[in-house]
Every structure is written in structure tokens, then in C-alpha cells.
Amino acid sequence: MNQRENFARRFARSKSGMLGLIGVAIIVLAGLAAPLLARSPAGYSRDILLGPSAAHLLGTDNLGLDIGLEILWGARTSLYVSAVAVLISVGIGVPLGLVSGYSRSWVGETLDAAVDIFLTLPILPLMIIMAAIMGTSITNVALVIGLFSWPQLAKVCKNATLKISGMQYIEAAVCLGYSRGRILLHHVLRNITGPVLVNITLIMANSVLAESSLSFLGLGDPTAWSWGTILKRAWGNNAVINNPNPWWWWLAPSVCIIVFVVCFNMLGTAINDLLSPKTQA
């Protein structure tokens, strides 16, 4: 209990960590509460390309859609994609990392080689191919991103496991007659939660970036509201280079993506700093 209370207290004192946490909390709450706050941005209106006003807080696009609403509903997409991607990465990466880090036999080496090969693959073109084959639904996008995010988590997990499995308390656990599974779940996994947690926040941030990139390239789901899709339409309609410039169209989604990524990264860095023994009192 002591250690956990201590962690919470030190976390509350870390400025970047709290900032990241608040940002993440706002995004998550906004995404969850979107259906309560506002209707989904359906149908077109006559308010075409209006700047921010009381009626349309963040203006409208060339079809008369409210950008503020799109962004609010887009947060749901981003969260959904990153949650699915994290689930897949954790589901594949953590067990593989644990086994390849702990097993000294050919199993570990084979897994390790597989992870290395996956890490060398250029992700974007493969994602394009996968998205093209699997079709452009938002779940498919999330699956594809998840399938390409696990290798780095597996690597982090493996390295942490390697370090922990050399510790004497693991040897002691073996001497006490514990099975491999018990040692991995009870003794190793609980010791590597720090780096794994940090990597999960990075995967959250990266998957939103990847989703936006795919949407921007037109491989996202055109029927789902997504920050990347707004940017793609803004770009497609020359909103970014036109003069006079409808800046509200591209600025708000870009800022949202940046804030999402920065907040998750700050959260991850703060957790990392707090968990690393160097900074522990």
C-alpha cells in the first residue's frame, strides 16, 4: 500500500505527468461523453465554410458540417483505434516478450528473430496493403495498426524480462519449486509493468498518428468521423493552401492530434521517470 500511495503522491507532484494525465482525461471523457454532449454530425447544412462563431464553435467545412462536432466524434474514433491497437499489441507482444526473454532454448531465439524481422518491416506501405485488402472499416484500421505495433512492445518486454530473469529472486523462485508460468506471471510480469506501461502510452499515441495518416491517405473509414479524415478533406479541397485561408478547417484537427500525442507521451515519460529506480527516493 505504502509504495502505491507513494507513487500517486509523487505522480501528483510531477508537472508534466499531471498535465499529460489531465489532457488524456479530457480527451477520454470527451470521447465517452460525445453522444451526451451533441448529436453526431449528420447531414449537410447551408452554413458552408463559416469561421468560428457561436452557432459553430469551430466553424464549418465546405459541406456545411460542424468541425467542432466532427472533432468531438473523431475523438471516439481515435480512442477506439488506439484501445484496440493496444489490446492487440499487449495480447501478442507481452506474452511473446515474456517467453522470448525467459526461455533460453530455441523457442526464445526463434521468437526473437521473428520480432526482429517484424521490426525491420516498413510499416506504412504494409499498412496500406493490409488496409486495401481488408477494406476500409475503422475496426480494420485498428486491427492493422495493432498488428504492426506489437513488435516494439515485445522487444521492450523481452529486454525487461531478460534483466529481471537474471535476478537472484527469480533463481530463488525456481528453487522454491514454482512453475515457469507462475514465475512469469507473478514474479517477472509484475516487475516489468513500468517499461510495458510506458510503451503502451507510446503505442496509444502512435496508433492515433497512424490512424490519422491512413485516413489522410484515404485508407480510413469515410463513414467514421476521424481527425485524419477532416484533414484529408481539408487538404483535398485546397483549404490548406487557399487564400483566403479557412484556417479553422485544418488547424483544429491538427492541434487535436498533436495534443493527443503529446499528452500520452508526457504521461508515458512521467510514469517512466517515476518508476525508474534512479529517481526513486
Partner 1 sequence: MAVIEFIDYSMGFQAQDGSVHNLIDRLSMKVEEGRALGIVGESGCGKSMASLSVMRLLPHGAVVQGGQILFEGRDLLQLSEAKIGGIRGNKITMIFQEPMTALNPVLRVGFQIGEALRLHHPDMRRDEVERAVIEALDQVGIPQPRARIHQYPHEFSGGMRQRVMIAMAMINRPALLIADEPTTALDVTIQAQILDIMKQFKQSGGMVVVTHNLGVVAELCEEVVVMYAGCAVERGTVHAIFRHPRHPYTVGLMAAIPTLSSPKTPLKTIAGAVPAIMDFGVGCRFAQRCEHCQSICRTQRPPETWLDEAHVVQCWQACGAAKGDA
Nearer to partner 1, 168 or 243 (CB): 168
Q: What is the DSSP string of the chain?
A: -HHHHHHHHHHHH-HHHHHHHHHHHHHHHHHHHHHHH-----S--S--SPPS-SSSTT-B-TT--BHHHHHHHHHHHHHHHHHHHHHHHHHHHHHHHHHHHH--SHHHHHHHHHHHHHHHS-HHHHHHHHHHHH-S-HHHHHHHHHHHHHHHHHHHHHHHHHHHHTSHHHHHHHHTT--HHHIIIIIIGGGSHHHHHHHHHHHHHHHHHHHHHHHHTT-S-TTS--HHHHHHHHHHTTTTT-SS--HHHHHHHHHHHHHHHHHHHHHHHHHHHHHSGGG--
By the rule CB under 8 A, 133 interacts with partner 1? no
For partner 1, the closer CB: 187 or 232 = 187
Looking at the Cβ atoms of 56 and 187, the one nearer to partner 1 is: 187
Our finding on whether 109 is near partner 1 (CB under 8 A) is no
Q: What is the CA radius of gyration of the chain?
A: 22
- Nearer Cβ to partner 1, position 177 or 244? 177
- Asked if residue 2 binds partner 1 (CB under 8 A), the reply is yes
Nearer to partner 1 among residue 75 and residue 98 (C-beta): 98
185 binds partner 1 (CB under 8 A): no
- The reply on whether position 187 binds partner 1 by CB under 8 A is yes
Residues 190-219 contacting partner 1, CB under 8 A: 190-191
Range 68-87, binding partner 1 (CB under 8 A): none
User: Closer to partner 1 at the Cβ: 166 or 244?
Assistant: 166
Of the candidate residues 1, 36, 54, 133, the single one contacting partner 1 (CB under 8 A): 1
Q: How far is the CB of 179 from partner 1 (least distance, A)?
A: 7
Among 104, 125, 243, 244, binds partner 1 (CB under 8 A): 104
174 contributes a contact to partner 1 by CB under 8 A = yes
Could you tell me the smallest distance in angstroms from the CB atom of residue 215 to partner 1?
40
* Residue (11 or 178) nearer to partner 1, CB: 178
By rule CB under 8 A, what string of x and - marks binding of each residue 153-172 to partner 1? --------------xxx-xx
The span from the CA of 230 to the CA of 222, in Å, is 10
Characterize 162-177 residue by residue with b for buried, 16 or more Cβ atoms within 10 angstroms of its Cβ, and e for exposed: bebbeeeebeebeeee
Cβ proximity to partner 1, 34 vs 170, nearer residue: 170
Which of 42, 54, 133, 176 is close enough to bind partner 1 by CB under 8 A? 176
5 binds partner 1 (CB under 8 A): no
**8 Å CB contact between 149 and 83:** no
Compute the least distance from the CB of residue 193 to partner 1, in Å.
8
Residue 123 and residue 89: Cα distance in Å, rounded?
15
Residues binding partner 1 (CB under 8 A): 1-3, 104, 167-169, 171-179, 182, 186-187, 190-191
